[in-house]
Amino acid sequence: MKILVTAKRVEDPESKIKVDAAGKGIVKDGLKYKINPFDEIAVEEALRLAAKHPGDVVAVSIGGKEVHEQLRHALAMGATKAVWVNHEGPLDQMGVARLLQKIVEKEKPDLVILGKQSIDDDQNQVGQYLAEWLGWGQATFASKADSLDSENEKNKVPGVIVGDGAKTVDVIREVDGGLNRLRLTLPAVVTTDLRLNQPRYASLPGIMKAKSKPLEEQTAQGLGVDVAPKITVTKLSMPPARKAGIKVPDVATLVTKLKTEAKVV
Amino acid sequence: MATVLVVVEAQPDGQLKKATLNAITAARQLGDVHAVVLAKDASALAAEVKDYVKVVHAGSGAHLEHYLAENWAPAVADVAKSINAEWVGAAATQQGRDLMPRVAARLNAAMASDIMAVNGATLTRPMWAGAVIAEVTLSTPVKCFSVRTTEFALADKSGGGEVKAFAPAATGQTHAQFVEFKEVKSARPELTEAKIVVSGGRGTKGDFKEIEALADELNAAVGASRAVCDAGWQPNDLQVGQTGKVVAPQLYVAAGISGAIQHLAGMKGSKTIVAINKDAEAPIFQVADYGLVADLFKALPELRAALKAAK
Ligand SMILES: Cc1cc2nc3c(=O)[nH]c(=O)nc-3n(C[C@H](O)[C@H](O)[C@H](O)COP(=O)(O)OP(=O)(O)OC[C@H]3O[C@@H](n4cnc5c(N)ncnc54)[C@H](O)[C@@H]3O)c2cc1C
Ligand SMILES: Cc1cc2nc3c(=O)[nH]c(=O)nc-3n(C[C@H](O)[C@H](O)[C@H](O)COP(=O)(O)OP(=O)(O)OC[C@H]3O[C@@H](n4cnc5c(N)ncnc54)[C@H](O)[C@@H]3O)c2cc1C
């Protein structure tokens, strides 16, 4: 089974993000970058599936040369090949999905696994656009039937379950009010939620091997995609901080405050 | 005036999901609101919605019995085209998040997710787990959006809408099939609709008895941090935060939760926040109106008893 995964470069989720003085971007000084946590989960799931259903795992990232770091990370985890779409400048979800569509048409994977959202833009859109434009089925917010502390997880059992003859996959999805199970005919698009798996660490031999794995370069122009953004960010700002609160010495004081000051009980 | 189409969502029991009414309030700021209801038989839900909008498009069909993006997106897009909608949106529930980008793709529309405010054609939305607020404009002829329900009031009845029934063409799609829905039933109020939420974190070590007892005393919903849901201590559905539910109750009680930005993203809009944590330096205290440095296993029963006595 051939699987394509995405490896977007984002700010470390632990970073403190600040808007710049012009309100046009964020302050980049001192920021660390990582693979989008949801994409790391996508890579892990693809590797587990590939361990059972052998085939290539191709990692794709769109951005400037710096995204090689995220591609190398995916390769060090175990992906077999990387595709770098060399692109500087703004992109929106439609642009990303159009580029991925072209790569999918070239690579012809059986399954595409993306993160459900990027932790910078938080849009949660690309997988769904891609599925529609490919005319494929989609299963967003893929999760595991059991918890991340379970034996299945310790034994690296994939949460995405491949059917007989590798014609379908079953996906458990986190939805409002419970869990939903969908069956998709392959090829299909899956997007990951947090509880699908616990990504492995890249081993030292993995990191060494990654250096010699193939990294192919593409461009938007070469792929024939117009990526002019249709979304314009006109202004960025920081939300107003909450008014500083107080510490209460004991439960009795807390109850009094809730009754007489906040009037919420 | 622009025409806006809102996708109506049903609860598992078929009743109207309240989040739709928050989405209608947002949509009213963009133009004349139409709604689309899709179901095996859409008539009852359409009748319920018609008082809130100008026209309800009620699409019934056997293939619409279970929600599936692949069957719903074409039906929604067809209605949008037939009424020349400039805007198409839904509440940013899990269903709305799954469906709307697929609808947008079909309409070649750009989309803004989780909108928090509307100002003319400028939409406000969160980024970086709400650490940044962005104002965005969309330049495609048709534009899509999903609505952060905590930022818009429930719509009131505007009266006098009409229902137009239609039969969405069966899509014949075979690449996605509904297998099952395992509902996590709870007798407590729905997390996103409750006036009070009591949440527990890793500090509970998985023991939610005191969290639940306080919630029941206050007729509150129970919430949780990611750490709790990852460990399988509580269902996923209770996770509050950047990647879980966004809540804004009158009172939010966080016990044994450290206050990571990803958790704050889901609750910092609450009117009053109480934090109970044994670590006086925990970041949750920076957003709490009232902070109590204490062991939750001691403080929660005391709090419950004191609230009961004060009734
Ligand atoms: C102020 C601002 C400035 C920006 N500047 C730039 C810029 O200089 N250069 C630039 O390239 N973009 C830029 N962007 C675009 C932005 O960072 C996103 O890459 C783009 O809008 C895609 O949206 P998303 O990641 O939120 O989509 P989502 O729908 O949240 O993402 C879902 C999934 O799509 C996949 N995906 C998304 N983007 C990529 C990618 N690039 N490569 C591989 N997989 C991906 C990931 O798997 C992700 O998990 C800017 C955005 C803003 C708001
Ligand atoms: C991409 C991404 C998305 C995420 N999305 C979310 C999200 O949607 N929601 C979310 O919640 N998190 C999310 N997280 C995780 C987040 O970063 C934190 O790891 C998580 O919120 C921590 O949960 P916690 O506060 O319960 O645990 P901890 O951070 O371990 O905190 C436990 C707290 O309990 C206190 N404590 C311990 N024992 C007691 C006691 N007996 N009495 C009182 N206090 C006690 C400790 O002092 C500590 O402050 C996300 C992370 C990433 C990377």
pLDDT tens per residue, range B206-218: 999 999 999 999 9
User: Is 2.40.50.140 the CATH number for B191-310?
Assistant: no
* B58 vs B64: CA distance, rounded Å: 12
Mean pLDDT, consecutive 10-residue stretches, chain B (311 aa), reads 97 94 98 97 97 97 96 98 98 98 98 98 96 98 97 91 95 93 91 96 98 98 97 95 95 98 96 98 97 98 95 79
User: Which residues fall within 8 angstroms of residue A224, CB to CB, at 6 or more apart?
Assistant: A102
Q: Give yes or no for a contact between A85 and A216, defined as CB atoms under 8 angstroms apart.
A: no
In chain B, residues with a C-beta closer than 8 Å to the C-beta of A126 are 101
In chain A, residues with a C-beta closer than 8 Å to the C-beta of B287 are 242, 245
Pocket of ligand 1 (CB under 6 A): A 6, 8, 25, 36, 38-39, 60-63, 87, 89-93, 96, 114-115, 117-118, 120-121, 123-127, 233
Residues 184-243 of B with CB under 8 A from A: 184, 196, 218, 226, 229-232, 235-237, 242-243
Provide the domain limits for residue A229: 3-236
Taking an 8 Å cut-off on Cβ atoms, the answer to whether B287 and A245 are in contact is yes
In chain A, residues with a C-beta closer than 8 Å to the C-beta of B118 are none
Q: A260: which DSSP letter? A: I
Sign of CA dihedral B243, A22, B115, A182: negative
CA distance A29 to chain B (A): 16
CATH of the domain at A168: 3.40.50.620
In this structure, is residue A38 part of a structural domain? yes
A166-184 residues labelled b (16+ CB within 10 A) or e (exposed): eebbbbbbbbbbbbbbbbb
3-state SS of chain B is: CCEEEEECCECCCCCECCHHHHHHHHHHCCCEEEEEEEECCCHHHHHHHHHHCCEEEEEECHHHCCCCHHHHHHHHHHHHHHCCCCEEEEECCHHHHHHHHHHHHHCCCEEEEEECEEECCEEEEEEHHHCEEEEEEECCCCEEEEECHHHCCCCCCCCCCEEEEECCCCCCCCCEEEEEEEECCCCCCCCCCCCEEEEECHHHCCCCHHHHHHHHHCCCEEEECHHHHHCCCCCHHHEECCCCECCCCCEEEEECCCCCHHHHCCCCCCCEEEEEECCCCCHHHHCCCEEEECCHHHHHHHHHHHHHHCC
Provide the Cα torsion B43, B193, B150, A125; round to 10°: -60
* B275 vs B294: CA distance, rounded Å: 10
The two three-digit tokens of residue B303, written as one number: 């709090």
Pocket test for ligand 2, best of A194, A195, A247 (most atoms within 8 A of CB): A194
CA of B268 to the centre of ligand 2 (A): 15
Instruction: Ligand 1, residue A25: give the atom nearest the CA.
Output: 1
CA distance B287 to chain A (A): 6
Task: State how far Cα A2 lies from the chain centre.
Answer: 19
Pocket test for ligand 1, best of A18, A70, A83, A118 (most atoms within 8 A of CB): A118
* B69 vs B38: CA distance, rounded Å: 12
* Closest residue by Cα to residue B26 from B135, B168, B123, B158: B123
* B294 vs B105: CA distance, rounded Å: 51
In this structure, is residue A259 part of a structural domain? no
* Closest residue by Cα to residue B133 from B148, B155, B154: B148
Q: Considering every ligand atom, which ligand is closest to the CA of B200? A: 2
In this structure, is residue A151 part of a structural domain? yes
CA of B261 to the centre of ligand 2 (A): 10
Pairing of strands A33-35, A9-11: antiparallel
pTM, two decimal places: 0.96
* Chain length of chain B: 311
Sign of CA dihedral A215, A92, A118, A16: positive
User: Is 3.40.50.620 the CATH number for B3-166?
Assistant: yes
In this structure, is residue A41 part of a structural domain? yes
Q: Considering every ligand atom, which ligand is closest to the CA of A60? A: 1
In this structure, is residue A245 part of a structural domain? no
Pocket of ligand 2 (CB under 6 A): A 13, 37, 119, 194; B 201-203, 225-228, 239-244, 256-258, 260, 262-263, 266, 276-279, 282, 295-297
Residue type at A69? E
Do the domains spanning B3-166 and B191-310 agree at the CATH topology level? yes
Where do the H-state alpha helices sit in A186-244?
204-210, 220-223
How many CB atoms within 10 Å of residue A165?
7
In this structure, is residue A262 part of a structural domain? no
In chain B, residues with a C-beta closer than 8 Å to the C-beta of A177 are 11-12, 183-184, 237
Taking an 8 Å cut-off on Cβ atoms, the answer to whether A258 and B272 are in contact is yes
Taking an 8 Å cut-off on Cβ atoms, the answer to whether B129 and A125 are in contact is no
Q: Give yes or no for a contact between A220 and A64, defined as CB atoms under 8 angstroms apart.
A: no
In this structure, is residue A251 part of a structural domain? no
In chain B, residues with a C-beta closer than 8 Å to the C-beta of A13 are 129, 261-262
CA of A93 to the centre of ligand 1 (A): 7
Total CB pairs under 8 A between chain A and B: 258
Positions in chain A whose pLDDT score sits under 70: none
pLDDT averaged over every residue in chain A: 96
Provide the Cα torsion A248, A253, A258, A262; round to 10°: -60
Q: How many domains does chain A have?
A: 1
CA of A218 to the centre of ligand 1 (A): 17
Predicted pLDDT at B310:
85
* B241 vs B268: CA distance, rounded Å: 9
In this structure, is residue A260 part of a structural domain? no
A103: helix, strand or coil: helix
* A83 vs A74: CA distance, rounded Å: 11
CA distance B93 to chain A (A): 7
Show me where the domains of chain B are located: 3-166, 191-310
Q: Considering every ligand atom, which ligand is closest to the CA of A130? A: 1
A221: helix, strand or coil: helix
